[in-house]
Structure 1
Amino acid sequence: MVNKMYFGGVEGGATHSNLVICDETGEVVATSKGPGTNHWQLGIEECATRIIDMIHAAKEHAGFPLDKPLDCLGLTLSGCEQESSNKELAERVRQKDPACARRVHVASDTAGSLFTGAPNGGMVLIAGTGSNALLYNGKQQYGCGGWGFLLGDEGGAYWIAHRAVKTIFDEEDGLRPSPHPIHAVWEVIMEHFGTENRVDLLPHAYKNFDKSKFAGLTQKLSHLALRGDALSRHLFAEAGSALAAHVAALVPKTNARHVRVVCVGSVWNSWELLKPGALKELNIRRVKPELELVRLRVSSAMGAAWLAAKQLDYELPRDDAAFCEILYTYTPEHHMNGNGKVNGTIGNCGSTAGVVGYVSLKERISAATVSNNGLQGRRDKFNFISDVVAVSAPSVVYIEIKDSRRMDLFSGEPLTLSNGSGFIVKEDGLILTNAHVVVNKPNASVRVKLSDGSVHIGVVEDIDMKSDLATLRIPVRGLPIMKLGTSADLKPGEWVVAMGSPLALSNTVTAGVVSSTQRGSAELGLRGKDMVYIQTDAPITFGNSGGPLVNLDGEAIGINSMKVTSGISFAIPIDYVKEFLQKRKTKSPQVSRRYLGITMLSLTPNILMELRMRNPEMPTDIDHGILVWKVIIGSPAYNGGLQPGDIVTNINGKPVQTATDVYAILENSSGLLKVDVVRGRGRLALSVTPEQH
Structure 2
Amino acid sequence: MVKQTLSLIAAGIVGGLITLGGYQWLHPASSASSLSESAPYAVQASYNRAPAKANAVPFDFKSAAVQATPAVVHISTTVAQPARGQAYDPFEFFFGEGNPFGGGQPQAGSGSGVFYTSDGYIVTNNHVVASASEVEVTLQDNRTFKAEVVGTDEKSDLAVLKIEGTGFPALDFADSDEAEIGEWVLAVGNPFNLTSTVTAGIISAKGRSINLLGGGRAIESFIQTDAAVNPGNSGGALVDAQGRLLGINTAIATRTGVFSGYSFAIPVNLVRRIADDIIEYGSFKRAYLGVEISDLDADYAKELGVDITQGVVIETLVDGGSAQFAGLQPQDIITAVNQRPVRSVPELQEIVGQAKAGDTITVEVNRKGQAVAVPVRLKAG
* TM-score, normalisation: structure 1: 0.29
User: How far apart are the structure 2 equivalents of 1:404 and 1:495?
Assistant: 40
1:206 paired residue number: none
Kindly indicate whether structure 1 or structure 2 has the higher relative contact order, using CA contacts under 8 Å at least 6 residues apart: 2
Alpha-carbon contact 1:518-1:534 (below 8 Å) kept = yes
Match of 2:63 in 1: 387
Q: In the alignment, is the contact (CA less than 8 A) between 2:229 and 2:252 conserved in 1? A: yes
Equivalent of residue 569 in structure 1, options 263, 273, 291: 263
CA contact (8 A) 1:558 1:571 kept: yes
Deviations 1:179-219 (Å, cap 9, x if unpaired)? xxxxxxxxxxxxxxxxxxxxxxxxxxxxxxxxxxxxxxxxx
Q: Give the residue type in structure 2 aligned to 1:571.
A: A
Check whether the contact 1:492–1:516 (CA below 8 A) recurs between aligned residues.
yes
Seen in structure 2, the aligned counterparts of structure 1 residues 415 and 523 have a Cα distance that, compared at 3 Å, is closer
Which of the two has higher C-alpha Rg?
A: 2
| Structure 2: runs of 5 or more not aligned | 1-28, 46-56, 83-97, 99-104, 255-259, 285-381
Distance in 1 between residues matched to 2:253 and 2:210, nearest whole Å: 14
Q: Name the CA distance, whole Å, in 2 between partners of 1:524 and 1:454.
A: 33
Code of the residue aligned with 1:424 in structure 2: it is F
8 A contact 2:213–2:220 mirrored in 1: no
Distance 1:503 1:449, change over 3 A: farther
Match of 1:402 in 2: 78
Give the CA deviation at 1:520: 3.2
Distance 1:513 1:335, change over 3 A: farther
Match of 2:169 among 469, 480, 498: 480
User: 1:427 deviation in Å?
Assistant: 1.1
Q: Who is 1:266 aligned against? A: none
> Partners in 2 of 1:493 and 1:345 — Cα distance?
36
1:670 alignment counterpart: none
Q: Structure 1 residues 582 and 341, CA, compared in 2 at 3 Å: closer, same or farther?
A: same
Matching residue within 564, 573, 578 for 2:272: 578
Tell me, in whole angstroms, the C-alpha distance in 2 between the residues paired with 1:384 and 1:526.
Answer: 40
Aligned residues: 218
Residue identity in the other structure for 1:581: A
CA contact (8 A) 2:277 2:283 kept: no
The whole-number CA distance in structure 1 between the counterparts of 2:71 and 2:79 is 26
Give per-residue Cα distances to partners, 1:641-663, cap 9 Å, x unaligned: xxxxxxxxxxxxxxxxxxxxxxx
CA contact (8 A) 1:549 1:556 kept: yes
Residue deviations 1:8-31 (CA, integer Å, cap 9, x gap): xxxxxxxxxxxxxxxxxxxxxxxx
Find out whether 1:491 has 2:180 as its counterpart.
yes
Query: In the aligned structure 2, how far is the partner of 1:528 from the partner of 1:339?
Result: 75
Question: Would the aligned equivalents of 1:336 and 1:343 in 2 still touch at CA under 8 Å?
Answer: no
Offset of residue 452 of structure 1: 0.2
Residues in 2 aligned to 1:500 and 1:494: alpha-carbon distance in whole angstroms: 20
Q: Which runs of 5+ in 1 are unaligned?
A: 1-332, 350-380, 409-413, 589-693
Matches of 2:222 and 2:30 in 1, distance apart? 53
Please give the alpha-carbon distance, in whole angstroms, between the structure 2 residues aligned to 1:334 and 1:574: 66
1:446 corresponds to 2:153: no
Q: Distance in 2 between matches of 1:514 and 1:482?
A: 20
Take 2:141 and 2:74, find their aligned partners in 1: how far apart are those partners? 11
Q: Partner of 1:543: helix, strand, or coil?
A: coil
Relative to structure 1, the CA distance from residue 523 to residue 445 in structure 2 (aligned partners, 3 Å threshold; closer, same or farther) is: closer
**Residue 191 of structure 1 corresponds to which residue in structure 2?**
none
Residue 33 of structure 2: which of 337, 342, 346 is its match? 337
Q: Percent identity?
A: 34
Structure 2 Cα separation of the partners of residues 336 and 416 of structure 1: 77
Confirm or deny: 8 A CA contact 1:335 1:347 kept in the other structure. Answer: no
Q: Secondary structure at the match of 1:582?
A: helix
Question: Structure 1 residue 405: deviation in Å?
Answer: 8.6
- Corresponding residue number in structure 2 for 1:509: 198
**Of Structure 1 and Structure 2, which has the larger fraction of its residues in helix?**
1
Q: Which position in structure 1 is the counterpart of 2:53?
A: none
Counterparts of 1:581 and 1:334, CA distance in 2: 76
What is the TM-score when the length of structure 2 is the normalising length? 0.51
Q: Deviations over 1:331-356 (max 9, x none)?
A: xx69953333566884459xxxxxxx
Cα RMSD (Å): 3.2
